[in-house]
Structures are given as structure tokens and as C-alpha cells.
Amino acid sequence: MKILICGDVVGKAGRRAIEDNLPDIRQRLELDFVIVNGENAAHGFGITDKICAAFYAAGADVITTGNHVWDQREIINYIGGDEKLLRPMNYPEGTPGAGTGIFKTSEGRKVMVVHPMGRLYMEPLDDPFAAVEEALRNHRLGQSVDAIIVDIHAEATSEKQAMGHFLDGRVSAVVGTHTHVPTADAQIMPGGTAYQSDLGMTGDYDSVIGMKKDLATSRFTTKMPQGRLEPAEGEATLCAVYVETNDRTGLAQHIGALRLGGTLKEEWPV
């Protein structure tokens, strides 16, 4: 199975990159399944139902989020009715929405998406490792589901790497989001799980992690109160990772970065 996971979409520039390029990418790579992390899509903070609809129309099968999931308040009433929009799974019981789901491809194969959020330098949520363990308790890769993709939204690379090793051999891929900077450690772990610490953002890289650089920089140089950060609006780089799984085992047999447009060097996974 051929799967693409796109990094955090930031603002209008990032949305444009997804909407303009994803249909062609999906066709060119003959993708079976696409996941987009959309937590910064609404002017850098959160996501809306209209943005979800636009991403689905462009070819996204599932949208993950992160710590900014609730920034657009209307999403609180919307998320429970959209099973393809996931919030971090380790929020307390009773939080609207779901953090995991099983979705069918057009050919009827089952893809499980699992979406924990880390706790180091993040919100004090429930244990992400225990939450993932519970989600996988009744599912086996290559048996009840054909692929399992884990998007861990976390600050610390150590926590992401620990999750990768914790799940190696039990899931198809563990990929990190949140830091908005793509890492160069794409690999297949010893047990057959594809891994990358961070996908990077889909946004304008002539910026400070997607935000206009002058205001963001002044926060560090002056330490004075500043206005609300705003997304940079230049041409975005679409950052993603391509994972190809074995149809029998569900484990990964290829992983590669995809970067298209903007200031970063173009790269194709195959």
C-alpha cells in the first residue's frame, strides 16, 4: 500500500500548497491513502470545517491535528460529526472527537490511524504510550488491519524516537509532527516500522516556523510584549513522507521524503 503523510499545514500558504498540489501528487505516486496534519491551517491556529472540506476535496483521507486543535472554537461542535478529523487520543475521557480510527481505501483495505500527543514541553495530557497500547490491544497489523500509521505530535525528538522503538514491528509507520522543521532521519527500524522524527511543515519556510519572521524574531531580541503572530504568506513547501507497505505483513518496505515548492530543495520519494 502507498501512503503519504503531510506535515503541519500553516496558514493560507500551506493550504494553497495542499489544494494545488495534492491531487497531482496522489495521481503521480498512485497513492492509496493520504493523511494531512491540519492543526495550523486556519491562519496558523487550528482548523475549521471549511478547511477540512477543502482538504478532503484535494485528496486527504484523514486529517490529524495537535495542541492547536481547539483554537478555532467552532471545531468543538464540529469534530464529533467528522470521523476523519482526529484530535490527540490522550486527551481526558469526555473530550469531543476521537484520536484514532480505522478507514477503508477505495479498494477496501483497512488503514488504522493513531494520533497521540507527547507530554515533554507540551500539555500535561494522559500517558501517550499507554493510550497507544490500549488502542492497539484489539488490532494486529496484517490481520485485523492492513496498515497502522501513528502521527505523534510532540516537541521532543527523544519522546518521538521512544515511541518509534516502542511500536517497532507492530505498526507500519511512526512519524512526528509539531516542530515544523523536517528531520533527516527517515528510516525503517529493525522490526520493519518506518520512522521519521518530524515531517516538517507545509508552509512558507522564509519565516520562523511558518510565522512572519520580523515579529517572531523581535520576540527573542526585545523580550517585550508583541502582537499575535501571523503566518508567512510566501510560496509554501509541501513537506510529507511517503511510506510503502508490504501487502501481506503491513510493515514498511520503503520510506522517503517528499518536498515540493517554496524555498526547500525539491525531493521525491521514488
Active-site amino acid positions? 68
Task: Give CA 215 to chain center in angstroms.
Answer: 26
Q: What CA–CA distances, in Å, run from 13 to 8, 44, 137, 211?
A: 12, 10, 39, 11
Residue 82 CA to residue 103 CA, distance in Å, equals 12
Calpha distance 241→43 (Å, rounded):
24
Buried b (16+ CB within 10 A) or exposed e, 144-172: ebbbbbbbbbbbbbebbbbbbebbbebbb
Count of other CB atoms within 10 angstroms of residue 129: 17
Handedness of CA 72, 78, 79, 85 (dihedral sign): negative
What stretches of the chain show up as alpha helix (H) in DSSP? 11-28, 49-58, 75-78, 128-136, 157-167, 213-221
How many angstroms separate the CA atoms of 252 and 193, rounded?
6
Give the separation between CA 120 and CA 264, rounded to whole angstroms: 29
Angle 96-91-32 (CA atoms, 0-180°, nearest 5)?
75
Question: Which residue is associated with the grid cell 502507498?
Answer: 2
Start-to-end Cα distance in the chain: 14
